[in-house]
Structures are given as C-alpha cells and as structure tokens.
Structure 1
Amino acid sequence: MLECDDDVLRLLDGPPLVPPGFEPQEPNRVAVTGRLTELRVADTCRRAPRAVLCLTTAAYTCGLLREPPPVAWLALPQGANAVRVFEGDHRWIRWSYPGAFTVGITEYDVLGARVRWTDPARTVVDLVRYGRHLRSLGPAVEAARRYAETGGDLDVLATVAADVGAPAAVMESIAMLVMLLRS
C-alpha cells in the first residue's frame, strides 16, 4: 500500500467537476479530504478499477457541500472484496443496478491511475437515494440547493434518477426537492 502524510487529494489543471457557473473557492483546484491521500486513492483505484468516489465525498469534491466529509464514501460492484481494497476511514456501498458505473461518472488520471467520481447531478440523486446510509437527507438538501445555485439543471436530476433505475420513492423525493428549490 502506498502511503503519504498529506490528507488532501488535490487535482490540478483538470476539467472542472462542478456545474456550469460554479465558482470554486480555489480556482482550478478540486479537493477530496478525509483519510484518502492522492497516493492512496491512486493505489485503491488500481486495485479496484471500477470503484467510484461517491455520496458526500463526491459532493464535497464537486463543491456541493461546504464541509469536508468525516469519512470517504466509495461504491464497489457486487463481488468486489472491500476488506482487501480499502484501508482507513471510509464507508462503501454496493451498486449492482443498470447504469451504476456508467451514468454520471467522471474519470480523471491521478498518478497514472483512473479515479472515478459521480458528477454533480448523479451525486445529488445518490444522496437522496442513499440518505439512510448517511442517517439524514440533510446532505442531499444542501447539495441540491448548491447544485441549483451554481447553475445545475434541476430537470437533469429526474433524468439521471430514471437512468439509474431509482425506485419510485426516490423519484418522488427528487420531484419534491426540485419543486421546493423552484419555489
């Protein structure tokens, strides 16, 4: 396992992960905090090339949450051995539905490894869908509000939710959230 003392992953000079109109606090810089370092992310993604940084980790990376997440969230395909893949302060979820690892996924090269994140719209949808894992829909509401404030297209949320086969209850929650944001 590669190690590094730095506790912040910084991607410089890459395309933005944020919706149009968003002004990052540090231009041309995206940060993921927590226990994942640049070297650990690269090493993890080499060993689990289909893993995706998601939920509050992706929301913070995309600028949708103001506070860094207390733990790193990663999604794995069914059958991947999470114990051997990840070390440190993290949580993982299993995705097995159609489009889980293709719809709304952004890829970047970090130290020669392909690192994958959910994009802003997919991140909002996932925060609603997996609110029970976070023990609150608070991050979903904050991320959706920031998504709308920064120029994200609210109609895209329903499209993304449908594309990943979100259950009816999630589709209804997203519709209510969009309605609240538009009022």
Structure 2
Amino acid sequence: MEPAGQSGGGDGSLARLPATFSYSEALAAGVSEWRLYRLRDQGLIEALGRGLYRRRDAETADLDLVEAARRAPAATLCLTTALARHGLTDEIPARIDVALPRGRHRPLVVAPVAWHWFDPTTFQIGRTELPLDPDTSIGLYSPERSIIDAVRLRHREGPDLAYGALRRWLGRRGASPSRLLGMARSFPRAERPLREALEILL
C-alpha cells in the first residue's frame, strides 16, 4: 500500500523537478527516495545514468548530450563531432567528442563519449553554448576553433578531416581567413600548417 498522498502523479512531485535532475536535487526539492523510485517505476521519469533522471514529459532532447553536460558542466563538443554539427565534415563519429580542461577527472557516463583534455589556458577560445533544453546547455566550439583543433591534432585525427573541413569552410560566405589565423596565434602547433594550407587553397 502506498503512503497517503503519494499515489499517482497528482501530488506535484514532478512539478517540483526540472527536466533533468540528480538524486540529490530531487531530495532537495522535497521528493523522497521512495517517491523518486515510485515515479521511475510508474514510467514518469527515466534514468539517464546512476543518480541522474529525466522527466518523461520533458521536451525531446539529445539525452546523450544532456548526460554529458550534467556530469561535466565544462563539457564542450569538439573535433569531428563539432565539425559535423557545423556541416564541415560528412564523417559520423562512433562516439561523441567532448573536451574538458586538462586536469579534470573523467566523468562516468552511459553515453558513448570520447573525452579529450585541452589546455585550460585556451579552453574558452571559440567556445559557445548549444542549448539542449530550457534547463541544460553544452559547450560547442565554433567552426574556426574546431578547424584549428583538427589541424593541431591531425597526427591523431587524420589530415583529411582537418583540411577537408578547411576547404569546406572556405567555400562559405563570411569565412574570414584572417580571423581564423588570428585565433590560431594562440595555438602554435596549428598556426604554421594553417598558413601553409591557406596559401595553397586561396
């Protein structure tokens, strides 16, 4: 038998919770552990991972990205994933490329994430925000920053990814090689090869 006032969804438990929330956030909102698991068993919320939940009535969102963003607030889409978001590559990565400042711990996630550690001193350069739902957003590197990262890591990611993205970007209206090179000055491993590539392509 259910405790009085805790049957169904009419006690306002869901209304007190954001679209995505943690176990501790639920308790802080006055939702008991018993009630939380009852909501899960009733199919009113779903588990995104250990101690992380999502309301079933929330708007549609990429739950893998939501989980990464909630587990690591600095999480930023980078490399192939970011280039694909910007339409600069046709490659579809098997895992989501997510950058964190070097020194941060590797979050435990269910989502298929490939974590990358970038220099904290340049981490914010070219970083924007991608809204996922009204309560959650994840970082996303700009097209220019994504190209720079692909060039400086071309020994690992492959030169075709870097220079293919550069060629496609140059064909777009508003592409500014001077702005790209200006940003590249903060990344010595990328500036020279970018200059050489631009001399050939322009």
TM-score by length of 2: 0.65
Overall identity of the aligned pairs, in %: 26
SS, match of residue 100 in structure 2 = strand
Amino acid aligned to 2:77: L
Counterpart residue number, 2:121: 98
Larger Rg: 2
Counterpart residue number, 1:161: 184
Question: Does 2:24 match 1:2?
Answer: no
CA-to-partner distance for each residue in 1:6-56, whole Å, 9 max, x for gaps? xxxxxx9xxxxxxxxxxxxxxxxxxxxxxxx71121121012010111000
SS, match of residue 187 in structure 2 = coil
TM-score by length of 1: 0.71
Question: Does 2:160 match 1:138?
Answer: yes
SS, match of residue 48 in structure 2 = coil
Q: Which has the higher contact order (CA 8 A, sep 6+)?
A: 1
- The change in CA–CA distance for 1:149 and 1:41 in structure 2 (over 3 A counts) is same
Alignment of 1:1-183 (within 5 A): 2=48, 38-84=62-108, 86-100=109-123, 102-111=124-133, 112-134=135-157, 136-151=158-173, 152-162=175-185, 165-167=186-188, 169-182=189-202
Give the superposition deviation at 1:133: 2.4
Give the superposition deviation at 1:109: 1.8
Amino acid aligned to 2:137: R
Counterpart residue number, 2:26: none
Amino acid aligned to 2:132: V
Give the superposition deviation at 1:83: 4.5
What value does the CA root-mean-square deviation take over the aligned residues? 2.0
Give the superposition deviation at 1:178: 1.1
Q: Which runs of 4+ in 1 moved over 6 A?
A: none
- 8 Å contact from structure 1 (residues 43, 113) kept in 2: no
CA-to-partner distance for each residue in 1:81-108, whole Å, 9 max, x for gaps? 2152x334332211124231x2111102
For structure 2, which runs of at least 5 residues remain unmatched after alignment? Answer: 1-46, 50-59
Amino acid aligned to 2:162: A
Equivalent pairs counted in the alignment come to: 144
SS, match of residue 81 in structure 1 = coil
Amino acid aligned to 1:2: L
For structure 1, which runs of at least 5 residues remain unmatched after alignment? Answer: 4-11, 13-36
Give the superposition deviation at 1:113: 1.0
